[in-house]
């Protein structure tokens, strides 16, 4: 298996996983993998062990158990963070953040530390990506929830946002909308449709996201505090059914709303995003982004440059094109290899490593 500037080898670490969603790494080398129907697994040496003690998960459509992320200081506190679709008992759901300690193969001392402010019809656009920033804050994405896209323009609604939280789920005092009348203090940026790729550069704190457009309009964005990314008022995509301008969209660009840094063409359906900092594959791959794709069934290797202070993607290479199916998550492991899970009823965990 090869690529521009790098030879690659793909290794299967575990298979027969039901719609695996997210990958997390423990300090001792074990790997955490969630399955959307509601399972959390520990994978080590080819053995898959299910973890008990999870919250009550409402799995329907795109909802279920989604992200897993250990605390950055896991060796001292044992905290694991999960995102999932939480039911209100009346047929509605919300994106929730659950924190618990990993004790052997079970979760203990668990509780919801954040639940989005408004429950809505289940099934679509939960977002749910998590990432730590260098200052120890937790980023969390929430999708627009599908049925009412203009929620993403309402600072009094968590839908369609990227949140910045303390590690206990509360809002930091220095978030951009703290003290703004009618705004929720957890919001860091808004106007997002459904962020499902999120990575933070540990060297400088830059926040990179990939998000789904409607029909087309899939985006790569570099997020800064307080930015409005425009959805659904601004979009490069079209309506799924009519293939015409989306009903809530007024323009492709608008003052006061950030343009995407890059539009994926053709449609990519992005999910999972990794940054190749200090990579082991090729000097030509240094600082590249790897953006997984669901419908496209490939990874896009993106070369980003900023010679004049403005970031732009100057090269886009397809990897694993339709070789393993729908790419749900892409991560760089502690030893710098690339880890991937595929979204299917018989999904798998793979390691992509340098080849000969």
Q: What is the DSSP string of 48-87?
A: EEEEB--------TT-SEEEEEE-TTHHHH-EEEEEEEEE
Q: What is the mean pLDDT of residues 257-269?
A: 95
- Give the pLDDT of residue 244: 65
CATH for 212: 2.120.10.30
317 Cβ contact partners less than 8 Å away, ≥ 6 residues apart: 3, 4, 300, 301
Tell me whether residue 125 is one of the annotated catalytic residues. yes
DSSP 232: T
Q: Which of 19, 58, 71, 125 is catalytic?
A: 125
> Number of folded domains in the chain?
1
pLDDT at 223: 98
State which residues form the domain around 61.
Answer: 2-354
Quote the percentage of the chain above a pLDDT of 70.
96
* Distance between CA atoms of residues 97 and 157, nearest Å: 16
What is the predicted pLDDT for the residue at 44?
Answer: 96
Residues 55 and 75 sit within 8 Å (Cβ to Cβ): no
Q: Under 8 Å CB-to-CB from 8, ≥6 apart: which residues?
A: 1, 2, 281, 319, 352, 353, 354, 355
Q: How many CB atoms lie within 10 A of CB 346?
A: 11
**C-beta separation of 66 from 22 below 8 A:** yes
pLDDT tens readout for residues 65-89:
999 999 999 999 999 999 999 999 9
CB 263 within 8 A of CB 214: no
Cα–Cα dist 299/276, whole Å = 13
Q: Reply yes or no on whether the pLDDT at 114 is more than 70.
A: yes
């Amino acid at each position: 298996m090869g690529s521009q500037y790098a030879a690659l080898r793909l290794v299967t670490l575990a298979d027969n996983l039901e719609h695996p969603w997210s990958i997390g790494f423990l300090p001792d080398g074990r790997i955490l993998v969630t399955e959307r129907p509601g399972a959390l697994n520990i994978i080590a040496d080819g053995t898959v062990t299910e973890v008990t003690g999870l919250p009550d998960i409402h799995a329907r459509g795109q909802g279920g158990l989604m992200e897993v992320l250990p605390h950055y200081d896991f060796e001292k506190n044992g905290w694991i963070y999960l995102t999932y679709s939480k039911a209100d008992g009346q047929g509605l759901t919300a994106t929730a953040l659950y924190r618990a300690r990993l004790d052997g193969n079970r979760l203990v001392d668990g509780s919801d530390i954040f639940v989005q402010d408004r429950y809505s019809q289940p099934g679509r656009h939960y977002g749910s990506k998590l990432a730590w920033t260098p200052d120890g804050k937790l980023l969390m994405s929430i999708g627009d929830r599908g049925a009412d896209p203009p929620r993403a323009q309402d600072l009094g609604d968590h839908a369609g946002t990227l949140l910045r939280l303390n590690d206990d789920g509360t809002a930091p005092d220095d978030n951009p909308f703290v003290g703004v009348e009618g705004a929720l203090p957890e919001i860091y940026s808004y106007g997002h449709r459904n962020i499902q790729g999120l990575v933070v550069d540990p060297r400088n704190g830059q926040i990179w996201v990939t998000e789904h457009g409607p029909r087309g309009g899939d985006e790569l964005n570099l997020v800064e505090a307080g930015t409005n990314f425009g959805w659904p008022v601004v979009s490069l995509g079209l309506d799924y059914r009519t293939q015409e301008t989306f009903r809530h969209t007024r323009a492709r660009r608008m003052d006061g709303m950030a343009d995407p840094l890059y539009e994926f063409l053709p449609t990519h359906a992005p999910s999972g995003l990794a940054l190749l900092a200090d990579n082991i594959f090729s000097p030509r791959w240094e600082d590249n982004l790897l953006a997984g794709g669901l419908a496209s069934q490939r990874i896009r290797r993106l070369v980003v440059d900023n010679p004049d202070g403005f970031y732009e993607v100057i090269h886009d290479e397809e990897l694993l094109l339709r070789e393993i199916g729908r790419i749900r998550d892409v991560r760089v492991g502690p030893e710098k290899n690339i880890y991937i899970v595929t979204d299917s009823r018989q999904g798998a965990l793979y390691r992509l490593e340098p080849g000969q």
